[in-house]
Structure 1
Amino acid sequence: MSYYPPPGQPPYGSQHPPPQQGYYQQPPMNQQYQQPYGQPYGQPPPGQGYPPPQGQGYPPPGQAPYGAPPPQHGYGGHSPQPGYGHPPPGGPPPGQGYPPPGQQPYGAPAPGGYGQPPPPGPGYGAPAGPPAMPSLGYDLRQRCPHDMSRAADDLRAAMKGFGTNETQLIKVLSSLDALQVEGVKQAYQQRHKRDLLKDVHGETSSYFRDGLEAIIRGPLDQDCHFINEAIKGAGTKETLLDDVLISRSNADINAIKAHYQQKFRRTLESDVKGDLSMKTERMYDMIMAAHRDEESAPVIPQQVDAWVQEIYNATEGRAGTDQLTVCTVLAKRSNGQLRAIAQSYKTKYHRTLQEVLKKEFSGHMESALMSMVSAAEDPAKYDADRLEESMKGMGTKDVRLVGLIVSIHWDKQRLQQCKAAYKHFYKRDLAQRVQSETNGDYKKLMVACLGASY
């Protein structure tokens, strides 16, 4: 599928510079899919406490960042941003003041480093580190720098009068980034005095409608909608809850909590609390507290050894399992620290951390803790595995599939890494796999979000 607008027409909003991408807290990987950082699974990145052998650059000198997608242009006429754990090349534009002058760049290691004692900092002996920026679309102060009037007019034309032009809806909406979709909604309201979400709801149906509405809500509002869907009614859909909350940055968790309360007039914590058992509730309290160590904090080997010992003493080193101790250790660690913990545990006890979690836990607490470790060790594989879980077996879990694809598609580099990992581990093209599990306009929308032709 070619990117919209049609050939020969200038990209929408092309007179404006592209918006700045936020962080997604994920490491880069090779386009053809390599193990993260070119190291064995679980190896922390260079500078994070366990240095790689001499001569192994990150990435090799002269090469583009691993997993960088080819230039593409959609509404707004800009190339996909380099996000998914990386700031834009060269840092933020002059004058943005983010971070403030005189402070370290966001994501830079905190003072100290390998083998050095951590500087004073809050929380469980962890060093302080500059906080990550919210992901694109999670800071409501951000505004779309493009004029989205034509896109809004095209969407209205697709739904006005008799019948609906579903192809037009797919072309326009699947090519928008998180800020552009907010710009389109505003332009649609201003120019046509109508609500885009309500119009799409009235003109479409089934999972095709769910996908379009997920895009229109944008990443932050969709996360809150998804959480509410997971906990309302009888029973909790814990897997959907995990898809939103596990392995998120403190900045994104705080944004989700604030928007959830504004949207539903209830706190996220109170809604989740009423749906879970006591120990699982305590684990989610830790996750929603947004007290994870920042990715900018160095990984200190002495701390890693202490955390590994705590996990062992709470599981294999005793009769019965001290579940809350394990939850406390894992839920508060950064992805870099979790990678180091997993590697150190295997080195010391000759078993993977996942094997221990499977043996010592069960049910939803097991799957949530496994997700924390898996998302930290290999985020692209974690995305690929979740997508496969939503499609394998009898019947497709369409609600989850829609949520995952729309969530991943916002970040083009993350999407490229996910597709490469899926092909590596499942020996099949992700778009073809999705096509085999979906149909009609629903299939066309999902494949378009994956950047493929249908």
Structure 2
Amino acid sequence: MATLKVPAQLPSPAEDSEQLRKAFQGWGTNEGLIISILAHRNAAQRKVIREAYSATYGQDLIKDLDKELSSDFERAVLLWILDPAERDAFLANEATKMLTANNWVILEIASTRSSLDLIKAKQAYQARFKKSLEEDVAHHTSGDIRKLLVLLVSTFRYEGDEVNMTLAKSEAKLLHEKIANKAYNDEDLIRILTTRSKEQLRATLNNYNNVFGNAINKDLKTDPKDEYLQLLRAAIKCLTYPEKYFSKMLRLAINKLGTDEWVLTRVVTTRAEVDLQRIAEEYQRRNSIPLDRAIANDTSGDYKSFLLALAGHDE
């Protein structure tokens, strides 16, 4: 359930690129015009606008936006205008860099994208960075975290609805045994989480809950400060209930002393065309405040206007 609102009467890509060009000219940039166009075009439409802009003006729209905009608003627009696969590749690469290292971003991309989208992101990664995502993840991580993340980014899960209930029961039992023995880095435990389809995993974890009387993530909370266990719990949430994971990320980003704009920007730009509506419903259910109001209270200026437009709430 996307929140993106695209107008019924759409200008041509040539008209859109001409308007964007106008927004850059004269005294100062017309940010409102940029928001009114880009925040209301889907990925395919943004791609043709970029092509039209390049064909007409011989310049890269991304580079021109980079020159004209600044701070959080700039980052949000630049992430948004990228093709989803390019965006994932960019975010994943940033997450493997020393200064911006972030295992959560890699986990998120590996666990909340469809199998096909993950492959597209990995192809975009190779095309842009001349390396594989797997090798960069392996190089920048170590130990159990490396084992988990490399397998998550390497997998190509079955996407259908077929579920083997016998397997779900036996694997629920196996997971329970491993966790009871604190064998959190056991190969079978990691294999089940990193290879099974999302529907199969749901069936296994429901069985785990029913038979052993506890949600698996509760049993994995033995050491709340252990990053590997945190990532393991997050992977389970991302694979089985992504809106719950993202609504928690937004709550943490917004409720901090000072907003975590990077997380806020990432969640809104990557989910606006996917399931931001569901995330917003989950957010309101858990925090008793609509997501758009929480964003509006915590941001300002063009950045606020842009995020709210992507969330389907133009000011």
Q: TM class, shorter-chain normalised?
A: over 0.9
Q: 2:178 aligns with which of 314, 318, 321?
A: 314
Task: Say whether 1:449 aligns with 2:313.
Answer: no
Change (3 A) 1:355 1:307: same
Q: What is the alpha-carbon root mean square deviation over aligned residues?
A: 2.2
Size of the alignment, in residue pairs?
315
Which of residues 286, 291, 302 is equivalent to 1:430?
A: 291
Q: Does 1:160 align with 2:21?
A: no
Equivalent of residue 366 in structure 1, options 225, 229, 233: 229
- What pairs with 1:268-279 in structure 2 (closer than 5 Å)? 268-279=133-144
**Cα offset, 1:199, TM superposition:** 0.5
Contact 2:296 2:308 survives alignment (8 Å): yes
CA drift at 1:227: 1.0
**Deviation, structure 1 residue 365:** 2.4
Measure, in 2, the Cα distance between the counterparts of 1:161 and 1:331: 53
Is 1:208–2:73 an aligned residue pair?
A: yes
SS of 1:229's partner is helix
Counterpart for residue 410 of structure 1: 273
In the superposition, the TM-score normalised over structure 1's length comes to 0.65
Residue of structure 1 in register with 2:115 after alignment: 250
Q: 1:370–1:193: structure 2 CA closer, same or farther, 3 Å change rule?
A: same
Unmatched runs of 5 consecutive residues or more in structure 1: 1-66, 78-145
What amino acid is aligned across from residue 163 of structure 2 in structure 1?
A: V
Q: CA deviation at 1:204?
A: 0.8
Is the CA contact (8 Å cut-off) linking 1:384 and 1:421 kept in structure 2? yes
Among candidates 141, 159, 168, match of residue 295 of structure 1:
159
Seen in structure 2, the aligned counterparts of structure 1 residues 221 and 394 have a Cα distance that, compared at 3 Å, is: same
Per the normalisation by structure 2, the TM-score is 0.93
The aligned counterpart of 1:262 is: 127
Q: Structure 1, residues 180-208: CA drift from partner, whole Å, max 9, x if none?
A: 11000000011111110111111110000
Instruction: Report deviation, 1:262.
Output: 0.5
Structure 2 Cα separation of the partners of residues 72 and 236 of structure 1? 33
Report the Cα distance in structure 2 between the residues aligned to 1:376 and 1:170, rounded to whole angstroms.
Answer: 32
Counterpart-to-counterpart distance in 1, 2:117 and 2:196: 16
% same residue:
23
C-alpha distance 347-195 of structure 1, shift in aligned 2 (>3 A): same
Cα distance, 1:243 vs. partner?
Answer: 2.7
Is 1:378 the equivalent of 2:241? yes
Secondary structure of the residue that 1:315 maps to in structure 2?
helix
Q: Secondary structure in 1 aligned to 2:74?
A: helix
8 Å CA contact 2:108, 2:238 repeated in 1: no
Per-residue CA shift, 1:259-289, capped at 9, x if unaligned?
1011011111111111111221111221122
Give, in whole Å, the separation in 1 of the partners of 2:234 and 2:105: 12
Gap regions ≥5 residues in structure 2? none
Q: CA deviation at 1:416?
A: 1.9
**Contact 1:345 1:353 survives alignment (8 Å):** yes
**Which whole-Å deviations, capped at 9, do the CAs of 1:63-101 have from their partners, x for residues lacking one?**
xxxx697x9542764xxxxxxxxxxxxxxxxxxxxxxxx
Distance (whole Å) between structure 2 residues aligned to residue 206 and residue 321 of structure 1: 41
- 1:322 Cα deviation (Å)? 4.3
Question: Does the 8 A contact of 1:260 with 1:268 survive in 2?
Answer: yes
Distance in 2, matches of 1:237 and 1:72, equals 31
Task: Find the counterpart in structure 2 of residue 394 from structure 1.
Answer: 257
Residues 75, 220 of structure 1: alpha-carbon distance in 2 compared, 3 angstrom cutoff: farther
Residue 50 of structure 2 aligns to a residue in which SS? helix
The one-letter amino acid of 1:172's match is I
Normalized per residue, the structure richer in helix is: 2
| Match of residue 186, structure 1, among 32, 37, 51 | 51
Q: Considering only CA atoms, is the larger Rg found in Structure 1 or Structure 2? A: 1
Structure-1 separation of matches of 2:8 and 2:75:
22
